[in-house]
Amino acid sequence: MSNRLEFLLEQNRRWSQSVKERNQDFFRNLAAQQNPQYLWIGCADSRVPANEILGLEPGEVFVHRNVANVVVHTDLNCLSVLQYAVDALRVRHVLVVGHYGCGGVTAALHNTRLGLIDNWLRHVQDVRDKHRVRLMAIADPIRQLDRLCELNVLEQVLNLSETTIMRDAWARGQEVTVHGLIYGLEDGVLHDLNMPVSTDNELLSHYEAAIDRLFASPART
């Protein structure tokens, strides 16, 4: 175990050194302030790291991750991240990022019992049940899972856009847009699910259009 930790610390020293070789003041500048344009709300899955996927440096994206990228109105952790990002950091874009092949979404779809986490994944089952008729009409189990992964993103964009934090920001005229994206583990590519929300009054129409588009012409078939 200690050997593994030594390995990690050594890796870190090498990384720090290489960054400083490119830019001597990189860490000194960052230590003084952060000014990210983006908030990423994504899955905790180790294969979906925000900075690497976006090709962004430390300081460029504020991040919150949980199992299956869920936004719940009683989750003080997620809401605190959102509030700080929107009110204090003034990010311009909030990205809700799901991924295909999500273990949390898979467990929710099939009622797999995993323990305490079942209670968290109940929120994804609510998404499944909300769209049950259209989901159950899909015969191919892989496609069915793909659609639920996508639907889960759109529903979380809806939840996020309905928070007091976003509503207050839009009411005072702040320019901040919420987006729903989904990531492919197999090719490393992000797809836009085309549900941008930058004001209160476009929320429901953009949500409904995005859901219809999903079933008419899926981002991945």
Residue ranges binding Co ion (CB under 5 A): 43, 45, 102
CB 121 within 8 A of CB 108: yes
Q: Please state, in angstroms and as integers, the Cα–Cα distance from residue 10 to each residue in 1, 66, 114, 209, following that order.
A: 14, 28, 36, 50
Q: What count of Cα atoms within 13 Å lies in the side-chain half-sphere of residue 115?
A: 0
Q: Which of 64, 78, 102, 179 is catalytic?
A: 102
Q: Residue holding tokens 């779809």?
A: 109
**43 among known catalytic residues:** yes
**99 among known catalytic residues:** yes
Query: Which residue type sits at 4?
Result: R
CB 153 within 8 A of CB 98: yes
Closest separation between CB of residue 47 and Co ion, Å?
A: 8
Closest separation between CB of residue 182 and Co ion, Å?
A: 11
Closest separation between CB of residue 76 and Co ion, Å?
A: 22
CB 107 within 8 A of CB 121: yes
Closest separation between CB of residue 104 and Co ion, Å?
A: 5
**45 among known catalytic residues:** yes
**149 among known catalytic residues:** no
- CB-wise, 90 or 143, nearer to Co ion? 143
Q: Which of 43, 78, 128, 206 is catalytic?
A: 43
Please give the span between the terminal C-alpha atoms of the chain, in angstroms, as a whole number.
43
Residue 158: phi and psi, rounded to 5, are: -60, -50
- CB-wise, 121 or 195, nearer to Co ion? 121
- CB-wise, 84 or 120, nearer to Co ion? 120
Closest separation between CB of residue 96 and Co ion, Å?
A: 13
- CB-wise, 143 or 167, nearer to Co ion? 143
Q: Please state, in angstroms and as integers, the Cα–Cα distance from residue 219 to each residue in 109, 120, 179, following that order.
A: 19, 26, 15
3-state class of 113 per DSSP? coil
3-state class of 15 per DSSP? helix
The rounded radius of gyration (Å) of the Cα atoms in the chain is 19
- CB-wise, 43 or 145, nearer to Co ion? 43
Q: Which of 13, 14, 28, 47 is catalytic?
A: 47
Active site residues: 43, 45, 47, 99, 102
